[in-house]
Amino acid sequence: MRVKRGVPSHAKHKKLFGANKGYRMTKHRLVRVARQAYLHAGEHAFAGRKLKKRSFRQMWISRISENVKQNGLPYSAFVSKLKASNIEVDRKILANLITDHPDAFAAILEKVKTVN
């Protein structure tokens, strides 16, 4: 018996076009081009997720560095003294403390300044 593939392929194309909604030119209109655009978008999204981690860490470090520098301590010295005082708080938490709870960060900073 002959099997016609119209319905499944139409459904697959419809799903692809739904994923490519908002793409420009033929990338949302033609199946071959849309498939390539979809695959490349996935690759870029994968790379972007890695870049996001990097850029957030840079932002946290710059926030901490700026705040610590205002209190007369270089960033590298702050981090080494933080480790020496056995305060296990990561950069993300420190950056959050700076923005949301500055008094708590000031307490950590004072404790770190006393360490030799």
84-107 residue pLDDT tens: 999 889 999 999 999 999 999 999
pTM, to two decimals? 0.75
**Distance in angstroms (rounded) separating the CA atoms of residues 64 and 97:** 10
**Distance in angstroms (rounded) separating the CA atoms of residues 22 and 11:** 19
Contacts of 53 (CB under 8 A, 6+ apart): none
Between vectors from CA 60 to CA 56 and to CA 64, what angle results, nearest 5°?
170
20-76 residue pLDDT tens: 999 999 999 999 999 999 999 999 999 999 999 999 999 999 999 999 999 999 999
Domain ranges of the chain: 6-114
Which fold would CATH assign to domain 6-114? c-terminal domain of poly(a) binding protein (1.10.1900)
Count how many residues are written for the chain: 116
